[in-house]
């Protein structure tokens, strides 16, 4: 199973454990209340969800002081039973319950109190609640209206909005919730009231009451129960359920986007100039060599209000020549567009080969202000650290992005509206999975990168680096066992993800776990391989996986993985993905025309489409309907963050800075 499958199984396990814990608690409480009949016990044991359990327990749950409890205190429960049984005239029977000392002054007050009791009984009825819940989900509409029609806001598309509950999209739910929270929207659920009344009446009127007066009283109680108790309760419940599903969908989108961003292929062999754009404080430059080592920093002022373009160009070309830099990484933040234009103009007059690319700098400021950044570059200010981070994001995105809280990377939708604990849990899992999939060079990895490997805590990561600094590079994986606090359990969990590229033992360079070394050595003998054959795909013969797995007493998946490692030890899975796009020229939004075809890079994928960087500072949107000729249920089915694709300009709104694109070319 893959990492995601295992995490989904773990979440399911957690859910079912919680379900069984709730079931056990409810059974115990019902026993203590001495209301646990065999029928009720069977219903509780058969319940398949926490909602179903809550419905069954609701009639017995301790309540606040309600209108029904007050009516019971006035002695009106027998009258409610007379109405429910339907054999007597409740108006005549109500005479006996008049008691001015007890707050019942006339027959109508007695009947009203009895109806309050019936209304609460109906509201607590698990069958009625379940029927109404299904009705709302099937026939209900989520309706929104503006608090003030004239007010301008990001939520204007929801000022007159109605959508069937069963069809509403996750991003709409989250947008509506935010609009309601920001006091721009009134939100409510609407459902055909007569349909709801008929559903409840099936349980309480059909074939039961024969007394016409009792029927009228029950009908009135049903309407009161639905309006005052049932519907408000179910409205809250269903909106919470919709929100939870929307949040899970947003988490899935964020998880997929983050994974694709982290798995962006590294750019090897380039010396890079990082540029962190800025107006008043200038553009900060940072040079790094092909290994990511920081070389020099500088500040230029080519933008408003200084416009020192000539002087800035001299500085840039001087740094390019001095360190033989051949790539420039420009942050896409404030001033990024103008900085891109400046760099394109500068490179036009530069005689050596050099290109630039625009980098999503989300989270760079978070990193630059962190304790980690100050430890890594104590001599630099925050802007300088940010420029280094931007350059390194091109060179090795994964190694750099793991230094930043995943929620700050900015590839999700409505991430600030999601439960932050759950968000952190999911995104940390994505980071760990990506690090494990790529693998980590044990002799060069930072403390932060090591701490993202499965099983390695921050203290153990620090101990690994300390051991490396004291004893020199690791020569084999067995040395890990000498690292303080890295015990057998941690070794078993992490060893397969740690690589030693120059190790004498070929398997220490690979993703083969030490537990499988014995199998690997037997396989080498079986295939008649020499040590020099390992790492050469052409030297590895084809084999009958099923037959050989039986001979070696090993699983087919394990055997297949070992053979792949024989061919390409420690293969970086990112190498198979589209490479970073470098450019030499630049466009402006004003240059775009309807029908123009361009190459772009997917920057973000959301429920309603994908945002594409086409080199004009403002990302364009490919609506989900324009992603493919076929029907697309979700954009992630056809595109992912980091994809390079051809797009066609559908329309450009220069005033609102909106670009509509299509990939149906």
- SS3 of 296-324: EEEEECCCCCCCCHHHHHHHHHHHHHHCC
| pLDDT for the residue numbered 219 | 93
Give the start-to-end residue ranges of the domains of the chain.
Answer: 1-62, 63-139+192-262, 141-190, 272-419, 433-575, 589-662
What region does 156 belong to: left with phi over 0, alpha with psi -120 to 50, or beta? alpha
CA within 13 Å, CB half, 298: 18
Over residues 488-505, mean pLDDT = 93
Task: Give, in degrees to the nearest 5, the angle at Cα 194 between 139 and 109.
Answer: 135
Residue 173's SS3 state is: helix
| pLDDT for the residue numbered 3 | 74
State the Cα–Cα distance between residues 347 and 285, nearest whole angstrom: 16
| pLDDT for the residue numbered 586 | 57
State the Cα–Cα distance between residues 97 and 162, nearest whole angstrom: 48
Q: Which CATH number fits domain 589-662: 3.40.50.720, 3.20.20.70, 3.60.70.12, 2.40.50.140?
A: 2.40.50.140
Q: Which CATH number fits domain 433-575: 3.10.180.10, 1.10.150.310, 1.20.1050.140, 3.40.50.300?
A: 1.10.150.310
Q: Smallest Cα–Cα separation from 393: which of 316, 253, 292?
A: 292
Residue 649's SS3 state is: strand
Residue 180's SS3 state is: helix
Beta partners for 645?
A: 600
- Which one-letter DSSP state was computed for residue 602? E
State the Cα–Cα distance between residues 325 and 347, nearest whole angstrom: 12
State the Cα–Cα distance between residues 315 and 297, nearest whole angstrom: 11
Yes or no: say if 493 and 486 are a contact pair by the CB < 8 Å rule: no
What region does 595 belong to: left with phi over 0, alpha with psi -120 to 50, or beta? left
More confident residue, 519 or 362: 519
Tell me the per-residue pLDDT of 545-575, one tens digit each, with 9 for 90 and over: 999 999 999 999 999 999 989 988 767 788 7
Task: Give, in degrees to the nearest 5, the angle at Cα 104 between 99 and 107.
Answer: 100
Instruction: Report helix angle 50-57 to 38-46, nearest 10.
Output: 160
Q: Sorting pLDDT into bands at 50, 70 and 90, what band is 587?
A: low
Tell me what percent of the residues of the chain surpass a pLDDT of 90: 67
Inter-CA distances, 93 with 71, 214, 234, Å? 16, 11, 34
Handedness of CA 414, 417, 420, 422 (dihedral sign): negative
Report the greatest alpha carbon distance in the chain: 105
Protein fold of 1-62:
Arc Repressor Mutant, subunit A (1.10.10)
Yes or no: say if 323 and 294 are a contact pair by the CB < 8 Å rule: no
Q: Quickly count: other Cβ atoms within 10 Å of residue 13's Cβ.
A: 10
Residue 440's SS3 state is: strand
Judge whether residue 283 has pLDDT over 60. Answer: yes
Q: Kindly write down the DSSP assignment for every residue of 193-208, as one continuous string.
A: HHHHHHHHHHHHTTTS
| pLDDT for the residue numbered 300 | 97
Q: Sorting pLDDT into bands at 50, 70 and 90, what band is 585?
A: low
Q: Classify each residue of 456-472 as buried b or exposed e, where b means 16 or more C-beta atoms within 10 Å of its C-beta.
A: beeebbebbeebbeeee
What are the backbone dihedrals phi and psi of residue 299, each rounded to the nearest 5 degrees, phi first?
Answer: -130, 135
Judge whether residue 64 has pLDDT over 90. Answer: no
Yes or no: say if 256 and 122 are a contact pair by the CB < 8 Å rule: no
Yes or no: say if 333 and 274 are a contact pair by the CB < 8 Å rule: no
**pTM > 0.75:** yes
| pLDDT for the residue numbered 206 | 65
Yes or no: say if 189 and 168 are a contact pair by the CB < 8 Å rule: no
Query: 63-139+192-262 maps to which CATH number?
Result: 1.10.3500.10
Over residues 175-188, mean pLDDT = 95
Q: Classify each residue of 285-309 as buried b or exposed e, where b means 16 or more C-beta atoms within 10 Å of its C-beta.
A: bbbbeeebebeebbbbbbbeeeeeb
| pLDDT for the residue numbered 612 | 92
Residue 567's SS3 state is: helix
What region does 207 belong to: left with phi over 0, alpha with psi -120 to 50, or beta? left
Over residues 387-392, mean pLDDT = 95
What are the backbone dihedrals phi and psi of residue 285, each rounded to the nearest 5 degrees, phi first?
Answer: -110, 145
Over residues 268-297, mean pLDDT = 94
Q: Residue length, the chain?
A: 665
- Which one-letter DSSP state was computed for residue 229? I
Yes or no: say if 328 and 273 are a contact pair by the CB < 8 Å rule: yes
| pLDDT for the residue numbered 309 | 95
Tell me the per-residue pLDDT of 341-367, one tens digit each, with 9 for 90 and over: 899 999 988 988 899 998 888 888 889
Q: Smallest Cα–Cα separation from 519: which of 564, 559, 492, 556?
A: 559
State the Cα–Cα distance between residues 608 and 292, nearest whole angstrom: 37
Tell me the per-residue pLDDT of 116-164, one tens digit each, with 9 for 90 and over: 999 999 999 999 999 999 999 999 999 999 999 888 898 999 999 999 9
- Cβ partners under 8 Å of residue 492, min gap 6: 455, 515
State the Cα–Cα distance between residues 637 and 475, nearest whole angstrom: 43
Q: Quickly count: other Cβ atoms within 10 Å of residue 220's Cβ.
A: 16
What are the backbone dihedrals phi and psi of residue 598, each rounded to the nearest 5 degrees, phi first?
Answer: -140, 165
Yes or no: say if 434 and 398 are a contact pair by the CB < 8 Å rule: yes
- Burial of 353 from C-beta contacts in 10 A (0-12 / 13-18 / 19+): exposed
- Burial of 163 from C-beta contacts in 10 A (0-12 / 13-18 / 19+): middle
Handedness of CA 592, 595, 596, 600 (dihedral sign): positive
Tell me the per-residue pLDDT of 425-477, one tens digit each, with 9 for 90 and over: 888 889 999 999 999 999 989 999 999 999 999 999 999 999 999 999 999 99
Quick one: 272-419 is in which CATH superfamily? YqgF/RNase H-like domain (3.30.420.140)
Q: Quickly count: other Cβ atoms within 10 Å of residue 222's Cβ.
A: 25
State the Cα–Cα distance between residues 485 and 507, nearest whole angstrom: 24
| pLDDT for the residue numbered 584 | 63
State the Cα–Cα distance between residues 414 and 214, nearest whole angstrom: 52
Judge whether residue 228 has pLDDT over 90. Answer: yes
Judge whether residue 209 has pLDDT over 60. Answer: no
Q: Secondary structure of 12-43 in the HEC alphabet?
A: HHHHHHHHHHHHHHHHHHHHHCCCCCHHHHHH
Q: Which long-range contacts (CB under 8 A, 24 or more apart) does 651-656 make?
A: 651/594, 652/589, 652/592, 652/593, 652/594, 654/589, 654/590
What are the backbone dihedrals phi and psi of residue 152, each rounded to the nearest 5 degrees, phi first?
Answer: -80, 135
Judge whether residue 35 has pLDDT over 90. Answer: yes
pLDDT, mean over the chain: 90
More confident residue, 408 or 470: 470
Over residues 256-273, mean pLDDT = 90
Tell me the per-residue pLDDT of 299-338, one tens digit each, with 9 for 90 and over: 999 999 999 999 999 999 999 999 999 999 999 888 888 8
């Amino acid at each position: 199973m893959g990492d995601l499958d295992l995490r989904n199984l773990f979440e399911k396990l957690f859910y079912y454990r919680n379900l069984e814990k709730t079931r056990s608690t409810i059974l115990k409480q019902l026993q203590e209340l001495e209301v646990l009949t065999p029928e009720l016990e069977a219903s509780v044991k058969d319940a398949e969800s926490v909602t179903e359990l809550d419905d069954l327990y609701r009639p017995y749950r301790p309540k606040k002081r309600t209108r029904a409890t007050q009516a019971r205190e006035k002695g009106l429960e027998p009258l409610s039973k007379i109405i429910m049984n339907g054999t007597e005239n409740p108006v005549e029977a109500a005479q006996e319950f008049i008691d001015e000392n007890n707050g019942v002054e006339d027959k109508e007050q007695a009947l009203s109190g009895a109806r309050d009791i019936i209304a609460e009984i109906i509201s607590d009825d698990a069958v009625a609640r379940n029927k109404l819940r299904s009705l709302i989900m099937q026939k209900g509409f989520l309706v929104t209206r503006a608090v003030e029609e004239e007010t301008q806001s990001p939520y204007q598309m929801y000022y007159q909005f109605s959508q069937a509950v069963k069809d509403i999209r996750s991003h709409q739910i989250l947008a509506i919730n935010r609009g309601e929270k920001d006091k721009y929207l009134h939100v409510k659920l609407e459902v055909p009231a007569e349909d709801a009344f008929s559903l409840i009446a099936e349980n309480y009127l059909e074939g039961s009451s024969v007394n016409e007066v009792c029927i009228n009283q029950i009908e009135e109680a049903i309407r009161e129960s639905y309006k005052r108790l049932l519907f408000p309760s179910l409205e809250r419940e269903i909106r919470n359920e919709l929100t939870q599903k929307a949040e899970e969908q947003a988490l899935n989108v964020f998880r997929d986007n983050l994974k694709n961003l982290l798995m962006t292929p590294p750019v090897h062999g380039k010396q890079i100039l990082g540029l962190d754009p800025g107006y008043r404080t200038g553009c900060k430059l940072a040079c790094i060599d092909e290994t990511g080592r920081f070389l020099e920093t500088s500040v230029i002022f080519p933008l408003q209000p200084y416009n020192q373009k000539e002087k800035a160009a001299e500085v840039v070309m001087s740094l390019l020549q001095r360190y033989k830099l051949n790539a420039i990484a420009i942050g896409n933040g404030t001033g990024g567009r103008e900085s891109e234009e400046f760099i394109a103009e500068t490179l036009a007059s530069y005689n050596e080969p050099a290109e630039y690319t625009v980098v999503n700098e989300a989270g760079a400021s978070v990193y630059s202000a962190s304790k980690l950044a100050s430890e890594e570059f104590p001599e630099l200010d925050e802007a300088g650290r940010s420029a280094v981070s931007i350059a390194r994001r091109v060179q090795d995105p994964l190694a750099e992005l793991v230094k930043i809280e995943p929620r700050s990377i900015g590839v999700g939708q409505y991430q600030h509206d999601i439960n932050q604990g759950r968000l952190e849990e999911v995104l940390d899992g994505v980071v760990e999975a990506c690090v494990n999939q790529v693998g980590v060079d044990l002799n060069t990895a930072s403390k932060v990168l090591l701490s993202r490997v499965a099983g390695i805590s921050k203290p153990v990561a620090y101990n690994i680096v300390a051991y490396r600094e004291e004893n020199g590079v690791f020569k084999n994986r067995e040395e890990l066992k000498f690292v303080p606090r890295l015990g057998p359990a941690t070794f078993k969990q992490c060893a397969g993800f740690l690589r030693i590229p120059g190790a004498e033992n070929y398997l220490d360079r690979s993703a083969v776990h030490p537990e499988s070394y014995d199998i690997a050595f037997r396989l080498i003998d079986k295939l008649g391989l020499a040590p020099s054959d390992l790492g050469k795909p052409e030297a590895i013969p084809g084999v009958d996986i099923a037959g050989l797995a039986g001979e070696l007493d090993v699983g087919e998946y394990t055997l297949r993985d070992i053979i792949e490692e024989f061919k390409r030890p420690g293969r970086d899975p990112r190498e198979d993905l589209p490479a970073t796009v470098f450019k030499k020229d630049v466009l402006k939004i004003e240059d775009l025309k309807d029908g123009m075809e361009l190459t772009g890079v997917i920057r973000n994928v959301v429920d309603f489409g994908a945002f594409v960087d086409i080199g004009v500072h403002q990302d364009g949107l490919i609506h989900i309907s324009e992603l493919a000729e076929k029907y697309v249920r979700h954009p992630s089915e056809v595109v992912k963050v980091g994809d390079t694709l051809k797009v066609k300009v559908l329309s450009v709104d220069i005033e609102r800075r909106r670009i509509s694109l299509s990939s149906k070319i």
